[in-house]
Chains A and B, each alone.
Chain A
Amino acid sequence: MNFLISEVLNLAPGESCSGDTGSKLEILRNEKIDKPIIFIGAGTCGLGAGADKILEVTRAYLSEKNIDTEIIETGCVGLCSSEPLMDVQLPGKNRISFEKVTSDLAEEILSAVFSGNPIPENNVLGQYSAGGNEEWDGIGYIAEHPFFKPQKRLVLKNCGIRNPISIEEYIAAGGYRSYLKGLRSYSPGDICDKVEKSGLRGRGGGGFSTGRKWKFAFNVESDQKYLVCNADEGDPGAFMDRAIIEGDPHRLIEGMAIAAYAIGATKSYVYIRAEYPLALKRLEIALEQAREYGLLGKNIFDSGVDFEIKVKMGAGAFVCGEETALIHSIEGKRGMPRPRPPFPATEGLFGKPTIINNVETLANIPSIIEKGEEWFASIGTETSKGTKVFALSGKISLTGLVEIPMGTTVREVIYDIAGGIRGGKKFKAVQIGGPSGGCITEQNLDIPIDYDSLIEVGAMMGSGGMVVMDEDTCMVDVAKFFMDFIQRESCGKCIPCREGTRRMLEILEDITHKPVNGSSHHALRRFKGVTQLEKLGKVIKETSLCGLGQTAPNPVLSTLKWFRDEYEEHIFERECRAGVCTELRTFTIDVDKCTGCTVCAKKCPTGAIIGARKTPHFIVDDNCISCGTCVQVCKFDAITVN
């Protein structure tokens, strides 16, 4: 610990170390080791896929054989569909990674490592190269793996590779030097300038220039300023913030410390979702380590700067991702937004100037200070600099987190990195930006990913969730799903959002349900509703108070723009081509197969099935609500679904 504080942290960012200290650092970075190390991917996704069992097996094996070796629980490397992952590193050899590890395979790997059996050849993901170790013959490098090759990992650099709760390892790999360099060599104003010149824009959704935002707070005189890290990642379909905190919490702490110094904040909060218990735990451990090293607290490294980070747990309200709502929530109030101005940068938490940044934004800061703003600005496109982490999920071959330079096309992400659509199905659309975003269709797949191009096609960067949909997904159902989410999460303060989103949901429900009575009045209402969808959406967008309402109609408007034919099918033909909207189904009874057992008639909740005992039954379509109970109870396969 001492030599890290007295020597290593005094080095300039990126400077290497030789001699005695250098070799100590190589050991800390696990480059030169004298006994094998087992790495197990134990992020939430890894544990969900069964990493806890692998950990159990490994611990049992080691204690049974009385072997003293280290098991490192890492965060998520990003390839969720290959979890659980288990890596082993033997002295003098490269680290080798196994995917989809089962208990049996884990034992096989362990016995290979400790009893000298040959290393299993199945389920090998690849090898890492580091520190001039000997390579494995015939095993590909992870860096060359199609999922990883096109990526540029700045924020996710350590995730899944290094021990997230070892500050020693983080420092040995060059961590916290950017912070100390900032404290010693730059004034707060310099740092704001650097970040502004780097072109970094907020990664939480809006995409506002981070440096410019900092300057607002920097220029305000106040006895107390606050920094808040928004880790209330509520977008369904996005999980990069969780992965960053679980996999590399020290990077976030370093980014926060630099940001706080730049704006002159001495106190800060991390507002983190309660649904992320593991991230919370690792963050608390990391904060404690940083305090021990004197990187947080009073008079940090004799610079006269004080800085402290507190953790606040969110309580499950999507609207708290909005800045002013988040502030209210920290203050112990209902998380409702308020009109701006005054902006939080001048009047925020407890009435003091407050800067709120997203986790990914803050995690980018250390590299900008380390490698310079020109270097950062050289990555990406004209208006969007750096990289962006995307969470890939849905009907795609490989799911997980990818970090790509801005300007990569959507097609490259889906086909080159993630291996295309699962099960050879046909691509339909990719939904970007969660409940605030929109869809990208086949014809727009070649647009470069940056803030502005996405807005041009009616989508949005959002926090970076990408949910891929194939021909079996119904777009009307997807729109309904988002609308249902938004109207539940609307805080209820302003009328357009509270009432408008509910009306939009009702209209969508009308067209995806079969009306109980097929009266012409009902049909008229259905048609009228649809013509109002667009108008209603426009009003909600223009008149809502906060970002939630202003973007709420986007999923509907975007699907309506690209998939109008599907909407029309639902309305006019009463058909769902993907077969998702089950309530539009119609049922018929095959008179040859029906034995007249009366089971379906008894079970039908609306009494829509009639017929005498031992004679074929019939369904009265007008009374049928398409619940499908009859199909489930029929023992003779006599009922067909259309």
Chain B
Amino acid sequence: MNDTTEQILVKYKNADRDSLIPILQEIQEVEGWLSEKMLTSVGRHLDMPVSKVYGVATFYNQFRFQPKGRFHIQVCRGTACHVLGSATVLEEIKKHLKIDVDETTKDGLFSLEIVACIGTCGLAPVININGNFHARVTTDSLRDIIESYRVQNNN
């Protein structure tokens, strides 16, 4: 049994179904993703079939079923970003890291995700790496940004 999941579940004693999404969010916040085991213990805790838990978890874009990389890259695919070239930015990241969307690099360093709109349309195109926003990204600046994180990891 996973300790962190248990610790989180203890906080939600006597919880009802409306706590399901907050519980999943909290587990993912700590663990970075949701494993089969975690979903099973959530189901047991809430006295719900795991199939229902899985049904809810897969409905929402936020939940991941694969471990996250150390640096999680979110590419904004909102309208403003699209008009200013976020499709090219996304392609460039895929090419550079040799991964597809929702995948993690083999060394576990980077993972890639598409988000609908981060809400910083004035600075499009935008990418977000571990909560840090990078505005007006171009294919040139992109490599430097990604490599700066790699350097950060090596230090």
Contact = CB atoms under 8 A, between A and B. Distances in A.
Nearest to A47: B133
Interface in A302-347: 312-318, 329-336
Contacts of A358: none
A489 to B, nearest CB: 8
Nearest to B19: A332
Interface stretch (B2-10, B77-85, B104-112, B147-155): B77-85
B120 A80 contact: yes
Contact of B79 (A314, A329, A331, A481): A481
A469 interface: yes
Contacts of A235: 117
Nearest to B79: A237
Given A239-B121, A395-B84, A465 B79 contact: yes
B22 A275 contact: no
Contact of A329 (B21, B83, B120, B135): B21
Interface in A357-413: 391-395, 399-400
Given A332-B18, A473-B83, A393 B124 contact: yes
A473 B85 CA distance: 10
B20 interface: yes
Given A333-B56, A393-B124, A467 B21 contact: no
A399 B136 CA distance: 13
Contact of A467 (B20, B61, B80): B80
Contacts of A312: 21-22
Nearest to B115: A275
Contacts of B79: 236-237, 393-394, 431, 434, 465, 467, 478, 481-482
Nearest to A391: B121
Interface in B78-133: 78-84, 115-124, 126, 131, 133
A211 to B, nearest CB: 29
Contact of A399 (B16, B119, B121): B121
B135 A49 contact: yes
A392 B115 CA distance: 20
A163 interface: no
Given A236-B80, A431-B79, A80 B122 contact: yes
Contact of B61 (A317, A393, A395): A317
Nearest to B121: A393
Given A44-B133, A330-B18, A315 B60 contact: yes
B119 A44 contact: yes
B4 to A, nearest CB: 19
B25 interface: yes
Contacts of A491: 59
Interface in A232-257: 233-239, 242
A277 B122 CA distance: 18
User: Interface size for chain A: under 10, 10 to 19, 20 to 34, or 35 or more residues?
Assistant: 35 or more
Nearest to B135: A48
A334 B81 CA distance: 29
A587 interface: no
Contact of A237 (B17, B20, B78, B126): B78
A441 interface: no
Interface in A267-307: 273-277
Given A274-B25, A333-B17, A465 B62 contact: no
Contacts of B22: 312-313
Contacts of B61: 315-317
B116 to A, nearest CB: 6
B63 A332 contact: no
A233 B19 CA distance: 22
Contacts of A482: 79
A334 B60 CA distance: 8
Nearest to A236: B78
Closest 4 CB pairs of A and B: A80-B122, A236-B78, A48-B133, A315-B60
Given A315-B62, A478-B82, 8 more contacts: A47-B133, A80-B120, A81-B122, A235-B117, A313-B21, A434-B79, A467-B80, A481-B82
Interface of A: 44-45, 47-50, 80-81, 83, 233-239, 242, 273-277, 312-318, 329-336, 391-395, 399-400, 431, 434, 465, 467, 469, 473, 478, 481-482, 485, 489, 491
17 contacts: A44-B120, A48-B120, A81-B123, A83-B122, A83-B123, A236-B80, A237-B79, A239-B119, A275-B119, A312-B21, A314-B62, A316-B115, A316-B116, A332-B17, A393-B80, A394-B121, A395-B84
